[in-house]
Amino acid sequence: MLPKETIAILQQNISRTEHPRELAVEVMFTLQKHYGYLSDEALEEGARLLGQTPLELEEIATFYEFIYREPVGKYVIHVCDGTICWMFNHQSVMDHISSRLGIPLGGTTEDGLFSLLPVCCIGYCDHAPAMLINGKLYGPLTPDGIDTILQELRRQGSSPREEG
Amino acid sequence: MEGHPRLVLLDQPPDRTIFLEEYQRRGGYQALAKVLKQYVPPQVVQIVQDSGLRGLGGAGFPTGRKWSLLKKEAPFPRYVIANSDEMEPGTYKDRVLVHHNPHALIEGLIIAGYTASAEKGIIFIRSAYEESAQVLEKAVAEARQAGWVGKNILGSAYSFDLVIHRSAGRYICGEAKGLIHALEGKRPHPNIEGHLTDAGLWGRPTVINNAETLAYVPPILKNGAEWFRNLGRSRAAAGNKIYSVSGRVNHPGCLELPFGTPLPEILEVYAGGMQPGYEFKTCLPGGASTRFLSRKDCDIEMDFESFEKLGRGYRFGTGAVIVFDHKTCLVGATLNLIQFFARESCGFCTPCREGLPFIRDLLQRLEEGEGEDAFIPMLRTMCGHLFQAYCAFAPGAATPVLGLVEDFVEEIQEHISQKKCPFKT
């Protein structure tokens, strides 16, 4: 279950709308932030809050690339494979991260810290090749730069006080 | 251009945010005050129509005409929406604009709201632009605090509320009708019949404009239609345009220039020319769903009219210039584009859902040296089917493929005859 305060905020936001379902994406983001991904339990909880059936929410949950219906790592790495990043060899970025983390595209590290996913053009074409990690931009990327980023996140991620 | 006024990207480079105090000091919100005091909605529509402003999200539909489609007797409530779901590969002008000058968009949206007699505005922003969304939230809070958003703005009878909707990805959400479904918490298929100005969000009259388009509305109302029209560089184009340049140039970036600035000038003077060791081959002039420019057409004024005049499926698009060099394979580039479109297709209609993977497969086999001569007419035929799709997404996807087949066919033929990609060592 979500914390009581979070539920109260969502219920208040929902009560202010003309149609509760206009907050469907916001509710899914909130649940995902709490659970780490949109689990079946989270989906049902979201549907209850919105007055929808779980199937109705599932219908849009599976549509969006930033809603994760399966468990993901604490840091979700989205490597841009848009045309400009392609031109600047995004494949080498993916290969480098993949070999450093020991996971294929779509995989999650055993310690649950990192997931590696592709994403379509993220609109940072002046920073190509680029990637987003938990919504934050990194680019233009170099192999050394990537190593530094991963090390820093590994350090932050294993610190018990850090919030993901 | 020296001495030419910039209207929305006030600094060059536009690398910091202009918040309310500075925006007002530099003349911001004067247009809204003037509109509320001096104009009734039809007058605003007329001025915007006379200004020659066109939709800058790619379609180029005249903004004033779009606003005039909203019928006087249309029911209430009505909505206005700013579309910042910018997901066309190569296009990042709205991100820079919103991050640099959020109040320009907000003021433009409020004026659009007043003109449509809408009680609520929504700024729809893509997930990847979280930083810009946070800037917008702060700016909306400032505008609300200052009384530009809320009940009885400036003591007038007009009240307007404004919310920000964060999307969770997918290109199709930027299509106006897909966007409506996204806002309604439905699967964002673009299947709505009729005009959104008659029945849009929740079945109510709705006006949707691109973020950059809206940002030019305040300077038009402040300085007049003729002033704006005369800012254009070419004969037909009005006002300014943000060009976002990317690819193998020395200085990729966003530039606000007179609309209709010639392409060679944009690339050489403003983007710093090609990177050392690279020669210009072609560019996509306005994002992923425009056509590769053939070499003979590269000396062109960058506006809607010049591309319309060229014909052959050319479109100006969003003004996002993606520059390809002589070492980059266009079959590979087109394969990348089609992979994007195939993945982003919403799957609602058959030509798009089935046709794009078919084209992807042909291009993949060509790129891997397994292509045959018969693939070339097959690509043309399949592109033809894409024009039967429900929305403009699939024809957009077909456009670079047709450019490849018609103007750069020798690159395809080399892949076939050499049984490999000639650009790979």
A91-108 mean pLDDT: 97
- Contact by Cβ (8 Å): B337, B288: yes
- Contact by Cβ (8 Å): B182, B167: yes
* Tens-place pLDDT, residues B389-418: 999 999 999 999 999 999 999 999 999 999
pLDDT of the residue at B425 = 79
pLDDT of the residue at A164 = 40
Rounded to a whole number of angstroms, the distance from the CA of B235 to the nearest CA of chain A is: 30
Which residue reads 């399949």 in tokens? B382
What is the average pLDDT value for chain B, to the nearest integer?
A: 96
Q: For testing the chain B interface, which of A13, A38, A119, A126 should be mutated: the one with the most B CBs within 10 Å? A: A126
The chain A residue lying nearest B133, using CA atoms, is: A135
Q: CB of B126 within 8 Å of any CB in chain A?
A: yes
Residue B7's φ and ψ, nearest 5 degrees, are: -100, -30
Predicted confidence band of residue A160 (pLDDT cuts 50, 70, 90)? low
What percentage of residues in chain A have a pLDDT greater than 70?
A: 97
- Contact by Cβ (8 Å): A30, A10: yes
* Tens-place pLDDT, residues B192-206: 999 999 999 999 999
Which residue reads 């070999």 in tokens? A99
Starting at the earlier edge strand, list the strands of the sheet with B161-166. Answer: B161-166, B120-125, B79-84, B206-210
Using DSSP's 3-state secondary structure scheme, residue A37 falls into coil
Q: Residue A66 and residue A31: Cα distance in Å, rounded?
A: 13
Which burial class, exposed, middle or buried, applies to B63 when counting CB atoms under 10 A from its CB (0-12, 13-18, 19+)?
A: buried
Asked if A126 and B322 come within 8 Å (Cβ–Cβ), the reply is: no
pLDDT of the residue at B2 = 66
Q: Is the dihedral of CA B294, B298, B301, B303 positive or negative?
A: positive
* Tens-place pLDDT, residues B156-194: 999 999 999 999 999 999 999 999 999 999 999 999 999
Asked if A66 and B127 come within 8 Å (Cβ–Cβ), the reply is: yes
Total residue length of chain B? 425
Q: Residue B61 and residue B63: Cα distance in Å, rounded?
A: 6
Number of C-beta neighbours around residue B285 at 10 A: 28
* Tens-place pLDDT, residues B69-87: 999 999 999 999 999 999 9
Please give the helix or strand (H or E) that residue B81 lies within, else none. Answer: strand B79-84
Q: CB of A44 within 8 Å of any CB in chain B?
A: no
Asked if A25 and B168 come within 8 Å (Cβ–Cβ), the reply is: yes
What is the average pLDDT value for chain A, to the nearest integer?
A: 94
* Tens-place pLDDT, residues B121-159: 999 999 999 999 999 999 999 999 999 999 999 999 999
Residue B1 has pLDDT above 70, yes or no: no
In total, the C-beta contacts within 8 angstroms joining chain A to chain B are: 127
The complex's ipTM works out to: 0.95
Which burial class, exposed, middle or buried, applies to B404 when counting CB atoms under 10 A from its CB (0-12, 13-18, 19+)?
A: buried
A48-66 mean pLDDT: 96
Chain B environment of A29 (Cβ under 8 Å) = 166, 168
A138-164 mean pLDDT: 86
Residue B27 has pLDDT above 60, yes or no: yes
Residue A96 has pLDDT above 50, yes or no: yes
Please give the helix or strand (H or E) that residue A91 lies within, else none. Answer: helix A90-101
Chain A environment of B171 (Cβ under 8 Å) = 120
Rounded to a whole number of angstroms, the distance from the CA of A31 to the nearest CA of chain B is: 13
- Contact by Cβ (8 Å): A97, A81: no
Chain A environment of B252 (Cβ under 8 Å) = 125-126, 128
A49-64 mean pLDDT: 96
* Tens-place pLDDT, residues B83-123: 999 999 999 999 999 999 999 999 999 999 999 999 999 99
pLDDT of the residue at A163 = 46
The chain B residue lying nearest A123, using CA atoms, is: B92
